[in-house]
């Protein structure tokens, strides 16, 4: 099986044009073996709404000293390379990342779409 990257992000809201990424997590798999992991909190340089803190468990104090998005995207792109990116509703995640021109050419594989076909 070819290597893939499973990715998930947490954000301050649903709109990639006005909301911000607060966490990025990714795992690179080769077959059923984990090759590497990437995880970072991201300082959105704004207040995290209470409903987002309740949903994610991430609050302002946790991201206060975290890197800004521009400081982590190069590392994320190096981690993912040109591998396909898989995730639940991954187009949402990629919408936020591609706003910053990250992972612009990686193939997207959506597990939500796969499940809807299988079920």
* Strand spans (E) along 1-119: 4-11, 21-30, 33-41, 85-87, 108-110
Give me the chain's average pLDDT, please.
96
Spell out the domains of the chain, with CATH numbers in brackets: 4-118 (3.30.420.10)
Residue 38 has pLDDT above 90, yes or no: yes
Confidence band (pLDDT; 50, 70, 90) for 116? confident
Which tens digit of pLDDT belongs to each residue from 74-105? 999 999 999 999 999 999 999 999 999 999 99
């Amino acid at each position: 099986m070819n290597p893939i990257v499973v990715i998930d992000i947490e954000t301050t809201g649903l709109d990639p044009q006005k909301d911000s990424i607060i966490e990025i997590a990714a795992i690179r798999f080769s077959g059923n073996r984990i090759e590497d992991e990437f995880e970072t909190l991201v300082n959105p340089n704004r207040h995290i709404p209470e409903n987002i803190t309740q949903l994610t468990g991430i609050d302002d104090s946790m991201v206060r000293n975290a890197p800004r998005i521009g400081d982590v995207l190069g590392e994320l792109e190096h981690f993912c390379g040109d591998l396909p990116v898989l995730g639940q509703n991954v187009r949402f995640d990629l919408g936020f990342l591609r706003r910053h021109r990250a992972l612009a050419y990686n193939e997207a594989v959506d597990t939500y779409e796969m499940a809807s076909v299988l079920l």
